[in-house]
Amino acid sequence: MAEWRTPELDGAAADALAVVTLFASGRADDARLAADLLDELVDQPDGVERVVGGLVSITGALLVLLEHQAGVTPADALDQVGRLVLEVAGDGYA
Protein backbone atom coordinates (compact mmCIF):
# COMPACT_ATOMS: atom_id res chain seq x y z
CA MET A 1 0.00 0.00 0.00
CA ALA A 2 1.31 3.45 -0.90
CA GLU A 3 2.03 5.98 1.80
CA TRP A 4 0.33 9.27 1.04
CA ARG A 5 1.81 12.61 1.86
CA THR A 6 -0.06 15.54 3.32
CA PRO A 7 -1.71 17.52 0.53
CA GLU A 8 0.18 20.68 -0.27
CA LEU A 9 0.52 23.13 -3.11
CA ASP A 10 3.86 21.99 -4.50
CA GLY A 11 5.41 20.73 -7.72
CA ALA A 12 3.13 17.69 -7.80
CA ALA A 13 0.09 19.95 -7.48
CA ALA A 14 1.45 22.19 -10.25
CA ASP A 15 1.91 19.18 -12.55
CA ALA A 16 -1.60 17.91 -11.80
CA LEU A 17 -3.05 21.38 -12.38
CA ALA A 18 -1.32 21.54 -15.76
CA VAL A 19 -2.90 18.22 -16.78
CA VAL A 20 -6.37 19.25 -15.56
CA THR A 21 -6.12 22.69 -17.19
CA LEU A 22 -5.22 21.15 -20.53
CA PHE A 23 -8.03 18.58 -20.37
CA ALA A 24 -10.52 21.23 -19.24
CA SER A 25 -9.93 23.40 -22.30
CA GLY A 26 -11.97 20.95 -24.37
CA ARG A 27 -9.59 21.26 -27.32
CA ALA A 28 -8.30 18.08 -28.96
CA ASP A 29 -4.73 19.39 -29.19
CA ASP A 30 -4.73 20.21 -25.47
CA ALA A 31 -6.14 16.78 -24.62
CA ARG A 32 -3.27 15.16 -26.52
CA LEU A 33 -0.77 17.37 -24.68
CA ALA A 34 -2.40 16.49 -21.36
CA ALA A 35 -2.23 12.78 -22.16
CA ASP A 36 1.44 13.09 -23.12
CA LEU A 37 2.20 15.02 -19.93
CA LEU A 38 0.31 12.48 -17.83
CA ASP A 39 2.27 9.63 -19.44
CA GLU A 40 5.51 11.47 -18.73
CA LEU A 41 4.53 12.12 -15.11
CA VAL A 42 3.43 8.56 -14.29
CA ASP A 43 6.54 7.10 -15.91
CA GLN A 44 8.65 8.62 -13.10
CA PRO A 45 9.51 6.27 -10.20
CA ASP A 46 6.91 7.79 -7.86
CA GLY A 47 4.82 9.27 -10.64
CA VAL A 48 1.43 7.75 -9.87
CA GLU A 49 1.64 8.77 -6.21
CA ARG A 50 2.73 12.30 -7.19
CA VAL A 51 -0.10 12.71 -9.71
CA VAL A 52 -2.74 11.41 -7.29
CA GLY A 53 -1.32 13.54 -4.48
CA GLY A 54 -1.28 16.57 -6.77
CA LEU A 55 -4.89 15.97 -7.78
CA VAL A 56 -5.91 15.68 -4.13
CA SER A 57 -4.10 18.95 -3.38
CA ILE A 58 -5.67 20.94 -6.20
CA THR A 59 -9.10 19.47 -5.50
CA GLY A 60 -8.83 20.61 -1.89
CA ALA A 61 -7.66 24.05 -2.97
CA LEU A 62 -10.55 24.37 -5.42
CA LEU A 63 -13.05 23.37 -2.73
CA VAL A 64 -11.66 25.99 -0.33
CA LEU A 65 -11.72 28.61 -3.08
CA LEU A 66 -15.30 27.72 -3.98
CA GLU A 67 -16.39 28.00 -0.36
CA HIS A 68 -14.57 31.31 0.10
CA GLN A 69 -15.80 32.93 -3.11
CA ALA A 70 -19.24 31.38 -3.55
CA GLY A 71 -20.22 30.17 -0.10
CA VAL A 72 -20.63 26.55 -1.23
CA THR A 73 -19.37 24.15 1.42
CA PRO A 74 -16.99 21.37 0.37
CA ALA A 75 -19.60 18.77 1.35
CA ASP A 76 -22.26 20.45 -0.81
CA ALA A 77 -19.86 20.84 -3.74
CA LEU A 78 -18.83 17.18 -3.59
CA ASP A 79 -22.48 16.14 -3.33
CA GLN A 80 -23.30 18.15 -6.45
CA VAL A 81 -20.34 16.65 -8.32
CA GLY A 82 -21.48 13.19 -7.25
CA ARG A 83 -24.93 13.86 -8.66
CA LEU A 84 -23.42 15.06 -11.94
CA VAL A 85 -21.32 11.91 -12.18
CA LEU A 86 -24.37 9.75 -11.61
CA GLU A 87 -26.36 11.72 -14.16
CA VAL A 88 -23.67 11.47 -16.83
CA ALA A 89 -22.47 7.94 -16.06
CA GLY A 90 -25.97 6.58 -15.59
CA ASP A 91 -26.22 2.94 -14.62
CA GLY A 92 -22.45 2.52 -14.68
CA TYR A 93 -22.20 4.01 -11.16
CA ALA A 94 -25.71 3.63 -9.78
Return the pLDDT at 8: 84
The predicted-structure confidence for 10-25, as pLDDT tens digits, reads as follows 999 999 999 999 999 9
The predicted-structure confidence for 40-80, as pLDDT tens digits, reads as follows 999 999 999 999 999 999 999 999 999 999 999 999 999 99
pTM over cut 0.85? no
Return the pLDDT at 92: 65
Please provide the DSSP assignment of 2-68 as one string: PPPPPP-SSHHHHHHHHHHHHHHT--HHHHHHHHHHHHHHHTSTTHHHHHHHHHHHHHHHHHHHHHH
End-to-end CA distance of the chain: 28
Return the pLDDT at 19: 96
